[in-house]
Amino acid sequence: MKKYDFDEIIPRKGTNCEKYDHLESHFGNGNAIPLWVADSDFRVPDFITAAIRYRADHEIYAYSFRPAGYYQSIIQWQLARHQWSVEKEMILPTQGVVSSLASLIMAFTGAGDGVVIQPPVYTPFFSCVRDCERRVIENPLKFENGSYTFDFEDLERKIDGQTRLLILCNPHNPVGRVWTKEELEMIGDICLKNNVMIISDEIHSDLIFGGYRHLPLPKISEQLADNCIVCMAPSKTFNIAGLSTSYVIIPNKAIRHKFDRFLHTLHLSNGNLFGNVALEAAYQYGMDWVNQQNDYLEGNRDFMLEFFGSKMPRIRMVVTEATYLAWLDLREYGLGEAEMNRLLIDKAGVVLNKGSIYGKEGEGFFRLNFACPRQVLEEALIQMKQVLGS
């Protein structure tokens, strides 16, 4: 078995890299350690780069289609990784998960319809709904005993006769929850009872830590499978977000047909030649690499928990069950979010995401991306301690 090196430090500046090359223009500190944009600093695995190079050597990159192997690799991955049986007909390739969300909102709702989101949550959930001129219905998560859960009573109160969709984040970005079967069943039952369709963003579903298991929403029941759409991609898992590799899985034939027609109307189904090659290689050969990456990420998570617990106890880190994103509660320092953010950037030289961008419930929290070599992570935490103290 090949051993992959996640300690390797790979320079990314000067590659039109949003995470590094926007540090100066966005934050005023081009030398800060960037722990903000949700991609990783790990080298893309060799079997993906080999597949891309092999195809690139042909030297004609004209119109292409997705071969049978593309779909079969998705089917095999979902079965092996999540014990989920998917049929080829259920899979619709898309341009990206965020553009999929916007497209689904446009396809299945009208102007003024309500769409439920559950903050603190991934920022584009807000903008996709608002930019489509739909009504955001916020059903905030409950923060209890250092962890998050759904507020089912609040959800039932807020659903009205014009609520059409609920956008679920599973696993959840930024709070790192892997929702349990019982939690998903309760969300599903409420939505079924009120005729609200669920869009389940499961882009982080491969990045699960020990003791937890991702449950694709359609596996809960046939009724729920008929009432949901799952958005997925290998982009976070394999660090190929620049290659347009997303897809949706829609078990319900009528819903699938309607969305397929929508994509074709806007000519959004062609995709990216090298993205298609990368997806097929990733899902065909990537199981061992992902397992090694997850072990490394889990080690980074545990390193942070120990560091904060012993050296900076005023930072309370929500235990991350999945994703490579840590959710940090910095409210005990008593500083406003803007002041804390500038202190981290200007004095500690570390760029995180302000919690308020994920909804008002995130005020006083920060999101930290720990998909980086441990040496870099340790340096960032030490610099934070030097400025903030214990």
CB atoms near residue 339 (< 10 Å): 11
> Does 36 reside within a domain?
yes
Residue 83 burial (C-beta neighbours within 10 Å; 0-12, 13-18, 19+): exposed
CB 347 within 8 A of CB 329: no
For the chain, helix (H) and strand (E) counts, in that order, are: 15, 15
Structural domain includes residue 158: yes
CA distance 144 to 162: 31
Tokens of 111: 């102007």
- For the chain, give the number of residues: 390
Same-domain status, 153 and 231? yes
User: What is 282-306 written as a DSSP string?
Assistant: HHHH-HHHHHHHHHHHHHHHHHHHH
Q: Are 1 and 288 within 8 A, CB to CB?
A: yes
| Domain termination residue (choose one: 268, 285, 302) | 285
Residue 92 and residue 301 in contact, taking contact as beta carbons nearer than 8 Å = no
| 10 located within any domain | no
- Do 254 and 112 lie in one domain? The reply is yes
Strands (E), 58-150: 91-93, 114-117, 135-138, 142-144, 147-149
- The gap from C-alpha 76 to its chain's centroid, in whole angstroms, comes to 21
At 144 the three-state DSSP class reads: strand
Q: Please identify every stretch of the chain with a pLDDT value under 70, giving residue numbers as ranges.
A: none
Same domain assignment for residues 307 and 355: yes
Cβ–Cβ under 8 Å, residues 268 and 244: no
Do residues 274 and 297 share a domain?
A: no
* Domain-located, residue 1: no
- Looking at the structure, do residues 267 and 328 belong to the same domain, yes or no? no
Q: Are residues 183 and 305 in the same domain?
A: no
Phi, psi of 319 (to 5 degrees): -65, 115
How is 188-200 classified by DSSP, letter by letter? HHHHHHTT-EEEE
Please report whether residue 137 resides in a domain.
yes
Structural domain includes residue 184: yes
Residues 248, 229: contact at Cβ < 8 Å?
yes
251 and 112 fall within a common domain: yes
CA distances from residue 226 to 70, 212, 221, 244 in whole angstroms, order as listed: 24, 26, 9, 27
Q: What is the pLDDT of residue 36?
A: 98
Strand pairing class (114-117; 135-138)? parallel
Q: For residues 202 and 71, is the Cβ–Cβ distance under 8 A? A: no
Handedness of CA 54, 58, 62, 66 (dihedral sign): negative
Q: Does one domain contain both 229 and 129? A: yes
DSSP states of 209-266 as a string?
-TT-----GGGS-HHHHTTEEEEE-SHHHHT-GGG---EEE---HHHHHHHHHHHHHT
Strands 325-329 and 316-318: antiparallel
Q: Examine the domain organization and report whether 103 and 230 are in the same domain.
A: yes
Is residue 107 within a helix (H) or strand (E), and if so which, with residue range? helix 97-108
Q: What is the pLDDT of residue 270?
A: 77
Q: pTM for the whole thing?
A: 0.97
Q: What's the total number of domains in the chain?
A: 2
Q: Do 94 and 208 share a domain, yes or no?
A: yes
Can you give the CATH number for the domain in which 183 is found? 3.40.640.10
Looking up residue 335, the CATH number of its domain turns out to be: 3.90.1150.10
Which of 252, 285, 318 is at the close of a domain? 285
* Structural domain for 347, as ranges: 18-45+288-388
Give CA 138 to chain center in angstroms: 19
Last residue of a domain, one of 234, 252, 285: 285
DSSP letter (8 states) at residue 125: H
Burial class (CB in 10 A: 0-12, 13-18, 19+), 123: middle
Asked if residue 184 and residue 159 are part of one domain, the reply reads yes
Tell me whether residue 369 is in a domain.
yes
Looking at residue 271, what is its pLDDT? 80
Question: Domain check: are 198 and 330 in the same one?
Answer: no
Whether 209 maps to a domain, the answer reads: yes
